[in-house]
Amino acid sequence: MQLDIKLLSKNTIAIALLLFCFISNAQTLRKRTTMLMGGRFDITIVAKDSLSAEQNIDSVISEITRIENLISDWKPTSQVSEVNKNAGIRPVKVDPEVFQLTQRALHLSEITNGAFDISFAAMDKLWKFNGSMTEMPSAEAIQKSVEKVGYKNIILDSVQSTIFLKLKGMKIGFGALGEGYATDKCRNMMIAQGIKAGIVNATGDMSTWGMQPNGKPWNIGITNPFRPDKISKIIHLKQGAVTTSGSYEKFVVFDGKRYSHIINPSTGYPSTGLCSVTVLGPNAETANGLSTSIMVLGKKNGIELINKYPDYGFLMITDKGKIIKSKKFGSLKK
């Protein structure tokens, strides 16, 4: 009888140990949607339990809010707004984080000859993409709309950590580049805190890491620009970033030619030729800068640009529906 009790105890311990291992390895997926930085953020966290997942989503939201309060040009108390208020007056000291983000943006402006330019924020809202436009703006009006735009008039002082806009009326704004930066920061923060998987998605610009609770990679759908309610491609990511720039929601058509809401900041004219550009790579900030630049540069010059970044791949869809993709994109496709 004593032997039977001992065997029963060992079996109970074994079962308890198995249950503990199962519980300790169980993963819970939680998702939350919120509006930040002027757009929609979908935050997905995989953690050991619901409480931990929700707490980490709170941490992500707090980090995005912190970044928004630093760089959002529509926040009157942000450092970027202070820079804009003092355009043509004086340099403004900013945090190293804001200074370095501006440095990276200006580097992108230099290598794209102004196809990417954070001073686009000063551009007059001449083009309307709400269905109200009935004719092209005049060449004179378009030229006037970019008078205060020009990255070469953004002066950085790395010693003093200041930003100075030379012309009165100039403005800078990070837009989706800032959202991509925020998703990267949040992903790195979560990894540092031991969260093994998740997605931070800023209106389609997303940073991913880890795997789904079922052990499979994340499924990322690429919108069909001609049928926005349909998915054109599905890619599978473990850790990386994907961003899409496109004209499938906001565009106008004049004389049979499609004009995107993405404006060339150096000319004032909308981009043409490409309906969407998806870029894959290690981080969302760079991917967003590249996808936006390629939309402006067009197919040939866009491919030349992204070929300088071997860690990034692309998928372009032309306004004729033709798909052009890099080998790297193909290697990530199902």
pLDDT tens digits, one per residue of 147-196:
999 999 999 999 999 999 999 999 999 999 999 999 999 999 999 999 99
Helix axis angle, 50-71 relative to 96-111, nearest 10°? Answer: 70
pLDDT-derived band at 330 (thresholds 50, 70, 90) equals low
- Asked if 38 and 186 sit in the same domain, the reply is yes
Q: At what angle do helices 175-192 and 50-71 cross, to 10 degrees?
A: 140
**Whole-number mean pLDDT of the chain?**
88
Same domain, 86 and 58: no
Question: The CATH number of the domain where 90 resides is what?
Answer: 1.10.3980.10
- Whether residue 65 lies inside any domain: the answer is yes
**Cβ atoms within 10 Å, residue 131:** 7
Q: Centre a 10 Å sphere on the Cβ of residue 32 and count the other Cβ atoms it contains.
A: 15
Q: Looking at the structure, do residues 312 and 246 belong to the same domain, yes or no? A: yes
Does residue 5 lie within any of the structural domains?
Answer: no
Please report the pLDDT score of residue 13 as a whole number: 40
Closest CA to 89 of 2, 203, 167: 167
Q: What is the pLDDT of residues 277-306, one digit of tens each?
A: 999 999 999 999 999 999 999 999 999 999
Q: Say what the pTM is.
A: 0.87
Winning range, highest mean pLDDT, from 97-111, 254-268, 309-323: 97-111
Domain with 238 in it:
29-72+175-332
Q: How confident is the model at residue 26 (pLDDT cuts 50, 70, 90)?
A: low
Q: What is the CATH number of the domain that holds 271?
A: 3.10.520.10
Q: Which of 165, 187, 203 is the last residue of a domain?
A: 165
How many domains does one find in the chain? 2
Task: Give the pLDDT mean for 218-243.
Answer: 85
Does one domain contain both 321 and 254? yes
For residue 333, pLDDT over 50 is answered with no
| 270: its two tokens | 């909308």
DSSP SS3 for 24: helix
